[in-house]
């Protein structure tokens, strides 16, 4: 099919994320990707400022990751995980337990980030049942979060400004604290309100679900590490299962391997996804402590009632292990620091707010971005961006060179001007 025919069919028949079927925004045809670049039909190679929604940390067509998938194909691409296991799953779990904050040594392999959050929430609910508190069925969280698109995940997303606001009345009603203050903000004032809210609702709360250190798709909002200690204390004081959703922040993005490390706080359940496979295949995991695993196994059913068809997919596990090995044997921390330095140029852009944390750069405008206009302006600078709401941001692959990062900053400046 010609590019025109592909795009015409796509426009008629394929859903894209958060997009109208009757009046879709423009879609571009990708014909290849390599390193930090994607190739767009009619445009050519551009730097990928989005790392395919924050996942392709090592860049595209990495020889070691390509080889890991090929090698796994030669033995098997998939088998069911019910009653069966395999080396790729065991090897990945070993690595995750090794890298994750201490105590998280029970691994549930899920097929997407949203599913891992569903599993984490189910773990918390079943844990409360198993420990004699079945009346604890609600969750505490903070405003401004994003935890996925399935129903229980949506219930802990930001209830007002977020992408799931239209579902109020349909979703389980959770308890929302104020969004944590920005970096340099008043943690004590926020913490006092959050502690009071938790105390008020404690009898009915099963768990506390938050994105540590950086709220991603809910508004690209970094907040002080001290807030993580407050989450841990509140969870301990009231017997809540503390879930850290590190699907966006995990694997070095904010400057530590996990955002939780910034405050030396360990959750009871940790969700990882996105960058887990280096952006190759859909895979996520929910890791929990032995205590949570024992508690929930004492509930009526005695088992964790979840088991996706493609649980523990060997191809995905194999490439995830290879990606983690690349991280641990390479110097991702130096790359993230280097990218952070390059992204400081964003502060020159005239905007309501500019936020840079780790390998994340965010420019907030005083109006909703005209996404097609802004994306077009960035492409003219050789950069792929996908702004949302009033935000133009980048979470680039760690393999970006200094020149790539300079191009991304120029792309964001052009997008801010145009959109």
Ligand X SMILES: *Cc1c(COP(=O)(O)O)cnc(C)c1O
Taking CB under 6 A as the criterion, the residue among 88, 177, 273, 396 binding ligand X is 273
Is position 168 annotated in a ligand binding site?
no
Binding range to ligand X, per CB under 6 A, among 31-39, 144-152, 163-171, 192-200: 144-152
Minimal distance, residue 200 CB to ligand X, in Å: 26
117 lies in the binding site for ligand X (CB under 6 A)? yes
342 lies in the binding site for ligand X (CB under 6 A)? no
Catalytic residue status for 122: no
- Produce one character per residue of 373-399: b if its CB has 16 or more CB atoms within 10 Å, e if not: ebbbbbbebbbbbbbebbbbbbbbbbb
Binding range to ligand X, per CB under 6 A, among 6-14, 225-233, 244-252, 410-418: 244-252
- Active-site choice (245, 268, 335, 404): 245
User: Which strand (E) or helix (H) includes residue 56?
Assistant: none
- Calpha distance 275→249 (Å, rounded): 9
360 neighbors 254 (Cβ within 8 angstroms): yes
Minimal distance, residue 276 CB to ligand X, in Å: 10
Strands 44-48 and 37-40: antiparallel
409 neighbors 361 (Cβ within 8 angstroms): yes
User: In the complex with ligand X, which residue's Cβ is closer, 251 or 381?
Assistant: 251
146 lies in the binding site for ligand X (CB under 6 A)? yes
CA 343 to chain centre: 20
Joined together, the tokens standing for residue 304 give 């964790």
245 lies in the binding site for ligand X (CB under 6 A)? yes
Strands 383-384 and 360-364: unpaired
Minimal distance, residue 112 CB to ligand X, in Å: 4
Q: Bridge partners of 171?
A: none
212 lies in the binding site for ligand X (CB under 6 A)? no
3-state secondary structure of 376: helix
Handedness of CA 310, 315, 321, 327 (dihedral sign): negative
User: Which strand (E) or helix (H) includes residue 55?
Assistant: none
- Calpha distance 33→60 (Å, rounded): 6
419 lies in the binding site for ligand X (CB under 6 A)? no
Minimal distance, residue 192 CB to ligand X, in Å: 26
Is position 122 annotated in a ligand binding site?
no
Minimal distance, residue 67 CB to ligand X, in Å: 25
96 neighbors 283 (Cβ within 8 angstroms): no
- Active-site choice (274, 390, 393, 398): 274
* Residue 51: closest CA among 251, 344, 287, 313: 251
286 lies in the binding site for ligand X (CB under 6 A)? no
User: In the complex with ligand X, which residue's Cβ is closer, 113 or 207?
Assistant: 113
Binding residue numbers for substrate: 53, 146, 274, 307, 386
- Catalytically active residues are 18, 146, 245, 274
User: Residues within the annotated binding site for pyridoxal 5'-phosphate?
Assistant: 113-114, 245, 308-309
Which residues of this protein are in contact with ligand X, per CB under 6 A? 112-114, 117, 146-148, 211, 216-217, 245, 247-248, 273-274, 284
Question: What residue numbers does the annotated binding site cover?
Answer: 53, 113-114, 146, 245, 274, 307-309, 386
């Amino acid at each position: 099919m010609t590019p025109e025919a592909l795009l015409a069919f796509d426009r008629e028949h394929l859903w894209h994320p958060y997009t109208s079927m009757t009046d879709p925004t423009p879609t571009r045809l990708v014909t290849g990707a390599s390193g930090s670049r994607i190739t767009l039909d009619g445009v050519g190679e551009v730097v990928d400022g989005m790392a395919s929604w924050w996942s392709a940390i090592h860049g595209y067509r990495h020889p070691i990751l390509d080889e890991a998938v090929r090698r796994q194909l030669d033995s098997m691409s998939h088998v069911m995980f019910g009653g069966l296991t395999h080396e790729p799953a065991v090897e990945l779990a070993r690595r995750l337990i090794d890298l994750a904050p201490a105590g998280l040594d029970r691994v549930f392999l899920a097929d997407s980030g949203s599913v891992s959050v569903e599993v984490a929430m189910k773990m918390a609910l079943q844990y409360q049942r198993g420990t004699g508190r079945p009346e604890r069925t609600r969750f505490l969280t903070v405003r401004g979060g994003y935890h996925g698109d399935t129903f229980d995940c949506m219930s802990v997303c930001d209830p007002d400004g977020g992408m799931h606001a239209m579902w109020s009345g349909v979703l389980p009603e959770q308890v929302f604290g104020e969004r944590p203050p920005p970096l340099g903000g008043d943690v004590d004032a926020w913490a006092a309100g959050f502690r009071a809210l938790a105390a008020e609702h404690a009898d009915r709360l099963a768990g506390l679900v938050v994105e540590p250190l950086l709220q991603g798709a809910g508004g690209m909002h970094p907040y002080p590490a001290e807030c993580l200690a407050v989450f841990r204390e509140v969870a301990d004081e009231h017997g809540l299962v503390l879930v850290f959703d590190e699907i966006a922040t995990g694997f070095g993005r904010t400057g530590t391997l996990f955002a939780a490390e910034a405050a030396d706080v360990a959750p009871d359940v940790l969700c990882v996804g996105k960058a887990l496979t280096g952006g190759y295949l859909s895979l996520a995991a929910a890791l929990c402590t032995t205590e949570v695993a024992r508690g929930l196994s004492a509930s009526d059913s005695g088992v964790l009632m979840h088991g996706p068809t493609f649980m523990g997919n060997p191809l995905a596990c194999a490439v995830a292990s290879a990606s983690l090995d690349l991280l641990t044997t390479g110097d991702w921390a130096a790359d993230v620091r280097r990218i952070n330095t390059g992204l400081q140029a964003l502060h020159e852009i005239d905007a309501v707010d500019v936020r840079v944390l780790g390998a994340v750069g965010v420019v907030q405008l005083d109006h909703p971005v005209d996404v097609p206009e802004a994306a077009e302006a960035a492409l003219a600078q050789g950069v792929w961006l996908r702004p949302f709401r009033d935000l133009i941001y980048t979470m680039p692959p760690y393999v970006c060179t200094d020149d790539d990062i300079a191009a991304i900053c120029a792309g964001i400046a052009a997008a801010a001007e145009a959109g």
